[in-house]
Structure 1
Amino acid sequence: MTHIQVLSDKPTLIAHALDLIVDKIHTTLQQQDQDKFTLALAGGSTPKPLYEALAKQSLPLEKIHIFWGDERYVAADHADSNQLMARQAWLEQVDFPPSNIHVMPTSGNDPSLDAQTHDQELREFFEVKPGEFPTFDIILLGMGDDGHTASLFPQTEALTVSDRLVTVGNKDGTPRLTFTYPLINHARCVIFLVAGENKRPALAQIFSPDGDPTLYPAKAVQPQGELIWLLDEAAGGELNT
């Protein structure tokens, strides 16, 4: 089921996303009698205030396991690291159990091998058999003005990977690690956070029946569970919702 919500501005979008995520964490752990909640984070500038807001919430951190949907192939302390941003904004601001933070490895000087390593780490954590895909409770995604999401970029090889959980994305010749479509689409809930007028052309294609997912990769995100698009007015104001 797809829900599209256009919020008045970015702070309102972030506040709505915060309420949604906190509610899903508590509801899932209480009603479904789960002992853990799995959350994959997005990089980029849009979710940073969301992570800062999550740091101020009272959450059962011992039951929350953090992952990333993609990561730039840089050192963990590099300014471009998605992991570093999330740690500074949220994870290091609270008493988060280190064993509950599952980073993508980016220090082996071999992106393909590191992708395989993380693929195996996910399989072991979720206890899935070969050929099966884990089910994340929430995967947060952003979207670039070119329509890419995670590190699934237009007309790149990563878009065609269907037999792995993690693969190597390509941004202008620079490698990144990324979740694959099948892994993303196996989630219980995928939440897009999209802000800014520069996103309007790509969104028009993504929500068009004629839009091409090889050119606008976010269009191919169609999870088995909920798909929630949270847009600010600048990004989504022209959509017929």
Structure 2
Amino acid sequence: MYQINEFKQRESLDQALASKVADILVEAVKSKGKASIAVSGGSTPKGFFKALSQIDLPWANITITLADERWVAFDSADSNTRLVHENLLQNKAVAANFFHLKQDNILSEETLADLNVAAASMLLPLDVLILGMGEDGHTASLFPCSDQIDECFSTSAPLLRVLPKTAPNERISFSFLSLKESKNIFLHISGTGKKVVLNKALADTNIKEMPIRAFIQDPEINTQVFWAE
């Protein structure tokens, strides 16, 4: 299931989403002493990151991670970890904890196994998940072009290695089954082009053709779509 929240200006969306997420994180910390949030990369969430970073939250009890990451160096322009450090782990949010998906130089089976154990014990289920969406309908690194697309939806492991054929870099991504257990799921998109992609995703049900469909059409998942012109 899904609900669309539309905004005329991206700044209004950023503030509204930041306020919504902040309330959820506060309640999670109150109820269990900690909270976890996974965010996505790209240029779209930068304004949201900056707005959230300026809110007074119990950041020391909040762990931030990524829905997926490219296996690149921290100083690479393609690093989502760098993006989060430069735009979200700032201001008041500098006190937050960060769970690194990209560890070691090589994404070996041993490294992946260690990350799966840590993610399961420290993060899951996520209190908040912020998804993005590509032009091909991929979300996180659940790529329809990858040979791992079946595993993306079937594995019970929290994380998996993905090699997209239409995008650069080896990836590590949370699996669909781990992401769908998130307590609050948001899809953050902007621009008329992404609205066209969203409408295409709503017009059919083949999740392996457009993985975002799994989040907006599954009756067990309530995805809040935040879109701005």
TM-score by length of 1: 0.84
Aligned equivalents of 2:205 and 2:222: distance in 1? 21
Instruction: Find out whether 1:61 has 2:59 as its counterpart.
Output: yes
Aligned to 1:229: 225
* 1:1-56 superposed Cα distances (whole Å, 9 cap, x missing partner): 532212113222212111111121223333xx210011111111111111111221
List aligned pairs for 1:42-57, cutoff 5 A.
Answer: 42-57=40-55
Q: By how many angstroms is 1:160 displaced? A: 1.9
Q: What is the root-mean-square deviation of aligned Cα atoms in Å? A: 2.1
Q: By how many angstroms is 1:215 displaced? A: 1.4
Amino acid at match of 2:17: A
Aligned to 1:108: 105
Instruction: Find out whether 1:73 has 2:63 as its counterpart.
Output: no
Change (3 A) 1:160 1:57: same
Change (3 A) 1:19 1:223: farther
Instruction: Find out whether 1:118 has 2:115 as its counterpart.
Output: yes
Change (3 A) 1:3 1:72: same
Aligned equivalents of 2:128 and 2:147: distance in 1? 25
Instruction: Find out whether 1:182 has 2:177 as its counterpart.
Output: yes
Aligned to 2:11: 11
Change (3 A) 1:223 1:107: farther
Aligned equivalents of 1:174 and 1:108: distance in 2? 13
* 1:135-157 superposed Cα distances (whole Å, 9 cap, x missing partner): 11001111111111111111423
Q: Give the unaligned 5+ runs of structure 1.
A: 127-133, 234-241
Amino acid at match of 2:45: P
Aligned to 2:26: 26
Selected match of 1:207 from 180, 199, 202: 202
Aligned equivalents of 1:55 and 1:15: distance in 2? 11
Instruction: Give percent identity, aligned residues only.
Output: 24
Amino acid at match of 2:105: G
Change (3 A) 1:142 1:157: same
Selected match of 1:138 from 125, 128, 139: 128
Amino acid at match of 1:169: V
Amino acid at match of 1:103: H
Aligned to 1:153: 143
Aligned to 1:130: none
Count of residues in correspondence between the two structures: 222
Aligned equivalents of 1:48 and 1:216: distance in 2? 24
Aligned equivalents of 1:168 and 1:223: distance in 2? 27
